[in-house]
Chain A
């Protein structure tokens, strides 16, 4: 039961994009087409999976002092690997993701899961966490991208939607549209969950992953 909740919490309750508001740069930038969203989501999930497995395997071997550089090297390594794979086997996707593919290296979702989850949990739990968070990221991206593509360009997954293509709203396909659609989705999620998607205490000082290092957890 606990394992199942690790898997599912990333999809709705702790959705990295719509609840924690992490990884917004790729979310807003590549969400103009549903196919981009799936590609970006898959690439990020691969990196998450790789970094979570590697970090939870090495969590006892990595000294606390150098854990951040170690995580960065591991994550950047996986990102470079996926970049080479995508360029070799999915060139159109490589072109449409552009700079945002290598930028997964500084995606805070990957980093947050490494710091919050993978470095204190077993490999199996970390895999479940990565799959859940990856799915949550992909779903959120897919939702934003679908809305923007359908109403902004009148197409979905590159296929023209009859009737809509002559009444599209170009604003939605441009940068401001990303913010608007994103905000609307957050509002809907908050309405549905009554604003209780995340318990408040998890945002507090004690819930911070660096609390043990910082030592100011009980200062206030």
Chain B
């Protein structure tokens, strides 16, 4: 009777332990590769939005709006880069927004999104509209049928401007 209880528990425990060990080993091998690849992708995105910067210095984000995941300043003072994470219709929208020292957008780009294909796609295809905009974002309307995605995107950019003002204020 006792054996009936012990054997299954033991077998399951051993299997769990072995699998956990194998996963730990797999993780140890792949994690550095995944990490360095994701750092390289982040860097290349930053270089795409501000091509003539020589280096990016990360800033503290404690007192910035909650949606700002990361903030950077270029070392030759051409502008600021904000990585913004907002909630869209289908989950997180992660975008990168570069704002120049004159308070105008240099370029924005979407890093990751899971919005409805087709309906929300125009929101991400008109990013060029944001180039040169100031914090009023005049002339950018919501895409019809994709209001939630449009507003999420726009609010993300506005948060980037808010962060920009805070950082500017701290520096002055």
Contact = CB atoms under 8 A, between A and B. Distances in A.
B34 A88 contact: yes
Interface in A48-77: 58, 61-63, 65-66, 69-70, 73-74, 76-77
B15 A58 contact: yes
Interface residues of A, number: 21
A65 B8 contact: yes
Contact of A85 (B7, B9, B30): B30
A110 to B, nearest CB: 15
B26 A85 contact: yes
B34 A87 contact: yes
| Dominant secondary structure at the A interface | helix
Contact of A77 (B8, B12, B19, B31): B19
A58 B27 CA distance: 24
Contacts of B43: none
Query: What size tier do the contact residues of chain B reach?
Result: 20 to 34
Nearest to B6: A63
Contacts, number: 49
A73 B34 contact: no
Given A62-B11, A81-B23, A73 B16 contact: yes
A84 interface: yes
A77 B22 contact: yes
Contact of B26 (A58, A73, A81, A98): A81
A88 B28 CA distance: 12
A88 B37 CA distance: 8
B8 A63 contact: yes
Interface in A173-195: none
B8 A66 contact: yes
A20 interface: no
A66 B37 contact: no
Contacts of B31: 84
Given A66-B8, A73-B12, A84 B34 contact: yes
Contacts of A89: 33
A70 B12 contact: yes
Nearest to B114: A98
Contacts of A122: none
A70 B114 CA distance: 34
Given A77-B22, A77-B23, A85-B26, A91 B15 contact: no
A70 B11 contact: yes
Given A84-B30, A89-B33, A66 B12 contact: yes
Contacts of B19: 73-74, 76-77
Contacts of B37: 88, 91
Nearest to A86: B30
B23 A66 contact: no
Contacts of B34: 84, 87-88
A168 interface: no
5 contacts: A70-B15, A80-B26, A84-B31, A88-B30, A88-B37
Interface of B: 4, 7-9, 11-12, 15-16, 19, 22-23, 26-27, 29-31, 33-34, 37, 114
Given A80-B23, A88-B34, A98-B114, 20 more contacts: A62-B15, A63-B8, A65-B4, A66-B8, A66-B12, A69-B12, A70-B12, A70-B15, A73-B12, A73-B15, A74-B15, A77-B23, A81-B23, A84-B30, A85-B26, A85-B30, A87-B30, A87-B34, A88-B37, A91-B37
Interface of A: 58, 61-63, 65-66, 69-70, 73-74, 76-77, 80-81, 84-85, 87-89, 91, 98
